[in-house]
Chain A
Amino acid sequence: MLFFILKRVAMGVGLVLLVLTLIFSALQLVPGDPAVLLLSTGDGGAPSPEAVEKLREQLGLNQPLLTQYFSFLSGVFTGDLGESFRTSQPVLEAIGARLPRTLMLVVFATVLSIVIGVAMGAIAARRGGWVDTLVTALSSIGVALPVFVFGAVLILLFSITLKWFPAGGYVDPSKDLLGSLASLTLPAIALAVGFAAQIARMTRSAVLEVQTQDWVRTAKSIGLAPFTVFRRHVLRNSLTPVVTVVGIGFGTLLGSTVLVERVFNYPGLSSLLVDGVTTRDYPVVQGVVIVIALLFIAINIVVDIIYGILDPRVRRA
């Protein structure tokens, strides 16, 4: 197991290097000069060539590409991701501020999704009949509903009409815990809906399948209470595929935050990345991509480990 994890980590490092090189080259290939962009907007006049040249020099953009590449790489390995072109804030600091916010949102959404999804899936499988039909229908809608549409509906209903929740923004939990929770709720629900639906479907079919297994019949026949049978033998065994879905889904959720953070004006990692791309803020884009790559690889390893805990066969393999 340990060797397995180490191998995965080594592969991960290689992957990160590849991602770094790809992202560096991609940014060079796309048109758009950060210096010009920093000095211009959709409305105003154009920047003077002198100003652009001066800024290019200041940002190190007039250096040869290879020099830029190696100084970028060596920066990464010494823990220095550079400074944002736009705000002069160290990229590491910006990520340090934003990553916890996005994780908070994603974790909140994941917890909501698991609780609601597993509950709905289990109920649908055990009850059957109209409950099953209803849950299946709801989960189909949930999976198909675009997150920004659902987000807009939530805002319209709960922020503008009822004024229960803020329409967006971020409140630091250390300053105002309740306010922070309030600002997290709607984006987390918007983020969770599709995922919860997916988990519900997965749980439902897994439970239905496991219920017919021999060991369930055996457990029933030795006279265990039906709920004990369900909890110990059905649900537990049904959760293995669900964990995979959650692991993969967690990554997808990270991706979905791009839209959710936009709709709810949530200043997380995704909005940092989007703003970085649109303004050609190279250091920011590179830094965020590194972090996201690391995160994905880490999630995959964690999923493997949880898999092993739930199903001992994996550990032996």
Chain B
Amino acid sequence: MPISQHLRRHESRTAHRWIGAVAFGAASILVLAGCGGSADSGDSGSGSQTLTFGLSAEPATPITGMQQGGAVNQLLTMVHRGLMTYDESGAVAPGLAESVDTTDPTRYVFTLRPDLTFHDDTPLTAENVKNSLDYYRDPENGSQLAAGLKDITEITTDGDTVTITLAQPNTAFLQYLALPFAAIVPDASLNAETPNWVGAGPFEMTDLEQGIGLTVEKSDNYYDADDVALDSIEVKFYPDGEARTNALLSGDVDMIEYVPWENFQRVSDAGLTVDAQQGPFQYVQFNVTDGPFAEPKVRQAVAYALNRENAVLAAFQSNGAPLNGIVIPEDDPAYDPAAADLWSYDPEKAKELLAEAGYPDGFSATLLSTSQYTFLQDNALSVQEDLRAIGIDVTLDAPDWSTRVSKGNAGEYDIAVSGDAGVVTDPSYLLNWVVDSRNFNVGWGYSNDTLRGLIEEGLRSSDDDAKRDIYAQVAELWAEEVPFASINTREQAYAYNDKVSGFETLPGFLVFYSSLNLAHASVE
């Protein structure tokens, strides 16, 4: 008896010692960590203005002129400027050019601002401008601007003026020059090997930590440096949307781009600003080489079968809007609300159209989507339901994004769900879907010379009424031909805490270039 008593007492004392040690260890970690955290936040409060910015991906090393996606574009808006730029409201405004003379619609005379300098302290000359633009317009260099600048016939320089001659008038020309990837760069950057970091923009890239983040600092060489309030921007990479949102909510960063739709409410409930714009649109694309979808009536049937309210709810938690036609931005002379209302949700009419096309009992088809971006998959599921309701038995194919791109580029699908936006807001962006360019964003094999001709005519037309007429014809033909069946537009959002002021997202497709406005933003 006494032994066992002794044993038990000893046991409990040992147990206490164990628990005590563990508790002490945990507590000391907590205390140490807590101190570390508060020391961090103390630093950012002092004198200089540093914005911490959560980027949605680790950007690839930028290559001059190449299309490399949203994350790279965000950074280009910080370090680069072109002849033109977009102002806070999204209108084209002079950038490196002080003024532009457009008395002749095929001749643009740009006068550069005085004493322009790149971040590496070399002067920015009219020759640099010519060389950069010549590089961008040469399709051999693989620049995404080649199509937008293809009307250029000649670029000449004289002192600090640059004269660009076009083969024909082009109403979107200045919009292209304002894009962040139409930046004027040093001649040394005009190749695929040199990282495209040196620019003449408001911020200068100073530090890159692979996998973690990078720092840009205010450039004194920038032409409008006096108006730039931020001393630096600390960019951190958050490929996961949830992690990005958490970083904002916990105060690790002041601002994030690309807020996941399911988190809009959560962020605004926490008292932060969700600054969203209806930008990109979602659509069903068709492989038109053979099979049922080669028949326009079947494509029309799909367009009438889509329950777009459902799709917006499912994929974007209602942070989007149903789209029954094509997007023409409101401030464009061609704007006509009718263009956005070409089809309605009408399953009965869809069935009739299918019967007229010779498929009264429907058929089966494969729908390509991706599991990597949830919104694309949710959009696809909604489309699958809608098509099943009219007799089209759809099998979903949802591989990872990389495979999706490969299959899209090889035309390995019957229909697919995609999301995209115009590069510029001029409605000529629609050209991308009526010219058979054999890439993953276009209906496989689709081309239409009439539509192409009309859109190009619209691009040449400087008369507003004429442009509106042309796009009325485009819309009418689009409703019959259905190069793609649109589903919805979606909101694209930046979110920030109340330390940030002076930032606003740009309207429409330009929302992706909103970081241009970081030049006008400040913290605290």
1/0 contact string of A1-45 vs chain B (CB within 8 Å): 000000000000000000000000000001111001111111111
Q: By the criterion CB–CB under 8 Å, are B25 and A115 in contact?
A: yes
A97: chain B residues at CB < 8 Å are: 210-211
The one of A42, A55, A152, A182 in contact with B376, judged by C-beta atoms closer than 8 angstroms, is A42
**Given A45-B423, A47-B142, A181-B29, also A116-B402 (CB < 8 A):** no
Chain B's closest residue to A280 (CB) is B402
Smallest beta-carbon distance A150→chain B, Å? 14
Contact stretch, chosen from B32-40, B92-100, B384-392: B32-40
Q: By the criterion CB–CB under 8 Å, are B439 and A47 in contact?
A: yes
Contact stretch, chosen from A66-74, A167-175, A243-251, A309-317: A167-175
B210: chain A residues at CB < 8 Å are: 87, 89, 94, 97
The one of A36, A176, A185 in contact with B29, judged by C-beta atoms closer than 8 angstroms, is A185
Top-7 shortest CB links A-B: A51-B142, A178-B36, A41-B69, A32-B402, A46-B439, A267-B211, A182-B33
Let me know if B207 is at the binding interface, CB within 8 A: no
A115: chain B residues at CB < 8 Å are: 21-22, 25
Q: Give A256-309 interface residues, CB cut-off 8 Å to B.
A: 262-265, 267, 271-272, 275, 278-280
For this complex, 27 residue pairs linking A to B, each with C-beta atoms less than 8 Å apart, are A32-B406, A37-B402, A42-B376, A42-B419, A44-B70, A46-B437, A47-B67, A48-B139, A49-B438, A51-B143, A55-B192, A87-B58, A87-B61, A88-B61, A89-B210, A159-B249, A168-B252, A177-B36, A178-B33, A179-B39, A182-B34, A182-B37, A227-B10, A227-B14, A265-B238, A265-B247, A271-B239
A276 to B19, CA, bound (A): 43
Q: By the criterion CB–CB under 8 Å, are A164 and B30 in contact?
A: yes
1/0 contact string of B50-88 vs chain A (CB within 8 Å): 000000001011000011111000000000000000000
Q: By the criterion CB–CB under 8 Å, are B405 and A181 in contact?
A: no
Let me know if B11 is at the binding interface, CB within 8 A: yes
**Given A38-B60, A122-B18, A169-B236, also A30-B146 (CB < 8 A):** no
Chain A's closest residue to B41 (CB) is A163
A230 to B14, CA, bound (A): 11
The one of A31, A43, A88 in contact with B407, judged by C-beta atoms closer than 8 angstroms, is A31
The one of B32, B212, B243, B442 in contact with A262, judged by C-beta atoms closer than 8 angstroms, is B243
> Helix, strand, loop or mixed for chain A's interface?
helix
**Given A168-B252, A182-B37, also A155-B246 (CB < 8 A):** yes
Q: By the criterion CB–CB under 8 Å, are B243 and A44 in contact?
A: no
A30: chain B residues at CB < 8 Å are: 402-403
Let me know if A226 is at the binding interface, CB within 8 A: yes
A46 to B433, CA, bound (A): 11
> Which B residues are within 8 Å of any A CB, using their own CB?
6-7, 10-12, 14-15, 18-19, 21-22, 25, 29-30, 32-37, 39-40, 58, 60-61, 66-70, 139-144, 146, 192-193, 195, 210-212, 236-240, 242-244, 246-247, 249-252, 280, 372-373, 376, 399-403, 405-407, 409, 419-421, 423, 432, 437-442, 512
A48 to B7, CA, bound (A): 80
Q: By the criterion CB–CB under 8 Å, are B22 and A119 in contact?
A: yes
Let me know if A98 is at the binding interface, CB within 8 A: yes
Q: How large is the interface on A (under 10, 10 to 19, 20 to 34, 35 or more residues)?
A: 35 or more
A115 to B406, CA, bound (A): 49
The one of A122, A123, A263 in contact with B242, judged by C-beta atoms closer than 8 angstroms, is A263
Let me know if A160 is at the binding interface, CB within 8 A: yes
Q: Give A151-169 interface residues, CB cut-off 8 Å to B.
A: 152, 155, 159-160, 163-169
A167: chain B residues at CB < 8 Å are: 243, 246-247, 249-250, 252
**Given A31-B407, A116-B22, A182-B37, also A43-B238 (CB < 8 A):** no
B399: chain A residues at CB < 8 Å are: 31
A180: chain B residues at CB < 8 Å are: 36
A177 to B244, CA, bound (A): 24
A87: chain B residues at CB < 8 Å are: 58, 60-61, 210
Q: By the criterion CB–CB under 8 Å, are B420 and A43 in contact?
A: yes
Q: By the criterion CB–CB under 8 Å, are B441 and A46 in contact?
A: yes
A155 to B58, CA, bound (A): 22
B243: chain A residues at CB < 8 Å are: 167-168, 262-265
The one of B19, B146, B239 in contact with A48, judged by C-beta atoms closer than 8 angstroms, is B146
**Given A32-B403, A42-B419, A227-B10, also A160-B439 (CB < 8 A):** no
Q: By the criterion CB–CB under 8 Å, are A46 and B442 in contact?
A: yes
Smallest beta-carbon distance B328→chain A, Å? 18
A209 to B342, CA, bound (A): 77
A176 to B21, CA, bound (A): 26
The one of A44, A47, A88 in contact with B195, judged by C-beta atoms closer than 8 angstroms, is A88
B139: chain A residues at CB < 8 Å are: 48, 50
Chain B's closest residue to A33 (CB) is B406
B247: chain A residues at CB < 8 Å are: 166-169, 265
The one of A45, A159, A262 in contact with B420, judged by C-beta atoms closer than 8 angstroms, is A45
A43 to B511, CA, bound (A): 12
Q: By the criterion CB–CB under 8 Å, are B212 and A169 in contact?
A: yes
Q: Give A201-251 interface residues, CB cut-off 8 Å to B.
A: 225-227, 230
Smallest beta-carbon distance B188→chain A, Å? 16
Chain B's closest residue to A176 (CB) is B36
Chain B's closest residue to A97 (CB) is B210
Q: By the criterion CB–CB under 8 Å, are B144 and A181 in contact?
A: no
Smallest beta-carbon distance B258→chain A, Å? 9
**Given A94-B210, A227-B14, A275-B58, also A41-B250 (CB < 8 A):** no
A43 to B490, CA, bound (A): 11
A160: chain B residues at CB < 8 Å are: 246, 249-250
A278: chain B residues at CB < 8 Å are: 372, 400-402
Let me know if A58 is at the binding interface, CB within 8 A: yes
A31 to B403, CA, bound (A): 5
Q: By the criterion CB–CB under 8 Å, are B22 and A166 in contact?
A: no
Q: By the criterion CB–CB under 8 Å, are A185 and B405 in contact?
A: no
Most A CB contacts (10 A, CB to CB) among B19, B210, B239, B401 go to: B210
Q: By the criterion CB–CB under 8 Å, are B421 and A43 in contact?
A: yes
A302 to B412, CA, bound (A): 49
A152: chain B residues at CB < 8 Å are: 242
Smallest beta-carbon distance B428→chain A, Å? 13
Q: By the criterion CB–CB under 8 Å, are B60 and A178 in contact?
A: no
Smallest beta-carbon distance B147→chain A, Å? 8
